[in-house]
């Protein structure tokens, strides 16, 4: 057709900057400009592609105070887009943005878009610790449209009991999933190591990975001075790495524009469709089940349905991998074995490839493009996850055109979660008497000792509660040495805090 509004990805750019002091570190604007120029060259179109940008999306960049980052980047590239975007923070947002802009292309609202993002947390943290003011370029004369939901990931009540950051919360889901599978602690430790050692192998071969080092399963799961326990059952090497300096971006265009700009078909990667959804039970403590994720199941299933494929038709995956449980839950939802030979990452994942916060899925989409071009005709699935298994996105890509009409990212009316409990539960902190643990973790101090237990459970009258354990060292040591899910105990309120004492 002469007006072909099929969305394609035509060029990618990535950047990693290691071991640079804050004064010499590249600022976000320069990193994003470099990624865009690299992506334009990768597409084989150079300056003509840059000047044709009519839509620019720069995802949330922590610490960058530009009024309109997308406008500032576009001006550096010599373009004047009519549509600019920023985003809320979230690990799902890169895929969400790609899907949103791809759908704009199908409607004829966008013809050439650059999507980019950067994570400069290493420089931010080092500069803050050294008292250095970072003179990053700002600017923008208009307000961009914001992609995403402006809502905190955890509640005030959760924060009161120490459920504040991802390393505090994901282990709670991990322990619940282990118990639901009937694994003992040692078998579970080995399975986490076996799963993520494969990720390190991919990272070791990725030039843009933050930690390009292959590690054995034992190295990943054994606590040592350099791999200390963070929160049971996760060591440091099983946690997403936050403090990186990385950036990535790519161009999405219509087939019509690709032809007009002379972009070779060898660079074309077709968008086959996608999806996004969020948990109805938004806050972690309110989830009906800690070993299930209804919105993840819905999102992944919808993306495959929109693409007209099954999971068996996918040749490459990149599952969002901030912590082992995120990957384990994705595999369980899709019925994929943990030793599936296709592998589950193209980057090495967040603990090893890096690119956390809102930027990771830009790296995974960019790298997926490279891998799919190496194996023409293969289809790839890229997923994202924001907050605490709360917000989800997915997209399917291939070097071949999707059969049928234009692709979509619509959610179907009938979703797999229709048979699951999805409504949020009320959470109480005034329960007295008997109760039992549904999910838990113990957060460690820097000396390697468990310092605080975080418990989610049910009182004997069925109320969901949140509590801490007493700070007794022997009690905490016992909590991390045997299965805690299902253990009975006693609830009390001490100085306004609910306390659960396991039997």
d(CA 10, CA 267): 5
pLDDT at 1 over 70: no
Spatial distance between the Cα atoms of 390 and 121, rounded to a whole number of angstroms: 23
- Kindly state the average pLDDT of the residues 85-96: 97
- CATH for 427-502 is 2.40.50.840
> At residue 15, does pLDDT exceed 90?
yes
CATH number of 7-152+242-419: 3.40.47.10
- Name the helix (H) or strand (E) containing 252: strand 245-254
3 band by pLDDT with thresholds 50, 70 and 90: confident
Mean pLDDT of 4-13: 98
360-374 helix and 93-106 helix, angle to the nearest 10 degrees: 60
pLDDT band per the 50, 70, 90 thresholds, residue 31? very high
- Residue 332 above 60 pLDDT? yes
- Concatenate the DSSP letters of all residues of 336-361 into one string: --TT-TT-S-SS--TTTT---TT-HH
**What pLDDT, in 10s, does the model give residues 429-483?**
999 999 999 999 999 999 999 999 999 999 999 999 999 999 999 999 999 999 9
Q: For residues 425 and 280, is the Cβ–Cβ distance under 8 A?
A: no
> Contact, 17 vs 245, CB < 8 A?
yes
Both structure tokens of 391:
């917000």
pLDDT tens track for 258-316: 999 999 999 999 999 999 999 999 999 999 999 999 999 999 999 999 999 999 999 99
**pLDDT tens per residue, range 160-215:** 999 999 999 999 999 999 999 999 999 999 999 999 999 999 999 999 999 999 99
Residue 2: pLDDT over 80: no
Phi, psi (rounded to 5 degrees) for 47: -60, -30
* pLDDT higher than threshold 60 for residue 253: yes
Q: What is the 3-state secondary structure (H, E, C) of 57-109?
A: EECCCCCCCCCCHHHHHHHHHCCCCCEEEEECCCCCHHHHHHHHHHHHHHCCC
Average per-residue pLDDT for the chain: 97
pLDDT band at 357 (very low <50, low <70, confident <90, very high): confident
Q: Give 95-144 pLDDT, tens digit per residue.
A: 999 999 999 999 999 999 999 999 999 999 999 999 999 999 999 999 99
- Whether a cis peptide bond, with omega within 30° of 0, leads into 233 is yes
Examine domains 7-152+242-419 and 427-502 and report if their fold is the same. no
Q: What is the pLDDT of residue 419?
A: 86
* Backbone phi and psi for residue 443, each to the nearest 5 degrees, phi listed first: -90, 135
pLDDT at 382 over 50: yes
Q: Quote the CA–CA distance of 275 and 103 in Å, as a whole number.
A: 11
Q: How confident is the model at residue 233 (pLDDT cuts 50, 70, 90)?
A: very high
Backbone angles phi and psi of 62, in degrees to 5? -55, 130
At 147, give phi and psi (nearest 5°): -95, 135
Domain limits, the chain: 7-152+242-419, 427-502
pTM exceeds cut of 0.95: yes
């Amino acid at each position: 057709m002469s007006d072909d509004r099929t969305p394609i990805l035509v060029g990618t750019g990535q950047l990693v900057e290691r071991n640079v002091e804050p004064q010499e570190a590249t600022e976000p604007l320069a990193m994003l400009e470099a990624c865009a120029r690299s992506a334009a060259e990768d597409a084989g179109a150079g300056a003509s592609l840059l000047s044709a940008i009519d839509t620019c999306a720069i995802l949330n960049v922590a610490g960058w105070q530009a009024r309109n980052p997308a406008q500032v980047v576009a001006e550096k590239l010599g373009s004047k887009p009519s549509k600019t975007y920023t985003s809320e923070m979230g690990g799902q947002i890169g895929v969400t943005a790609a899907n949103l802009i791809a759908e704009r292309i199908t409607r004829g609202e966008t013809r050439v878009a650059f999507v980019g993002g950067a994570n400069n947390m290493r420089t931010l943290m080092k500069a803050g610790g050294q008292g250095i003011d970072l003179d990053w370029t700002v600017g923008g004369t208009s307000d961009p449209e914001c992609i995403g939901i402006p809502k905190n990931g955890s509640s005030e009540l959760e924060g009161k009991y120490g459920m504040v950051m991802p390393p505090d919360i994901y282990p709670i889901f991990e322990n619940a999933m282990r118990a639901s599978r009937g694994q003992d602690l040692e078998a579970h430790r080995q399975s986490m190591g076996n799963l993520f050692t494969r990720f390190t192998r991919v990272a070791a071969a990725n030039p843009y990975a933050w930690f390009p080092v292959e590690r054995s399963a034992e190295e990943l799961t054994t606590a040592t001075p350099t791999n200390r326990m963070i929160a049971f059952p996760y060591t440091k090497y099983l946690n997403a790495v936050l403090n990186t300096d990385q950036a990535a971006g790519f161009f999405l265009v219509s087939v019509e524009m690709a032809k007009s700009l002379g972009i070779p078909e060898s660079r074309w990667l077709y968008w086959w469709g996608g999806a996004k959804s969020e948990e109805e039970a938004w806050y972690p403590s309110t989830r009906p089940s800690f070993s299930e994720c209804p919105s993840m199941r819905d999102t992944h299933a919808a993306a495959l349905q929109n693409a007209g494929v099954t999971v068996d038709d996918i040749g490459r995956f990149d599952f969002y991998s901030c912590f082992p449980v995120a990957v384990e839950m994705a595999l369980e939802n899709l019925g994929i074995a943990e030793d599936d030979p296709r592998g589950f990452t193209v980057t090495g994942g967040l603990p090893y490839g890096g690119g956390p916060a809102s930027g990771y899925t830009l790296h995974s989409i960019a790298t997926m493009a490279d891998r799919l071009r190496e194996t023409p005709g293969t289809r790839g699935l890229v997923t994202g996850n924001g907050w605490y298994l709360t917000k989800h996105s997915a997209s399917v890509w291939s070097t071949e055109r999707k059969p049928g009409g234009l692709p979509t990212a619509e959610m179907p009316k009938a979703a797999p979660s229709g048979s699951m409990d999805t409504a949020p539960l009320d959470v109480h902190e005034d329960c007295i008497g008997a109760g039992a643990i549904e999910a838990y973790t113990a957060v460690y101090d820097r000396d390697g000792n468990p310092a605080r237990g975080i418990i989610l459970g049910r009182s004997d009258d069925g109320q969901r509660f949140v509590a801490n354990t007493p700070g007794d060292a022997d009690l905490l040591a016992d909590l991390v040495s045997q299965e805690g899910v299902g253990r009975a105990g006693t609830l009390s309120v001490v100085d306004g805090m609910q306390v659960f004492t396991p039997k």
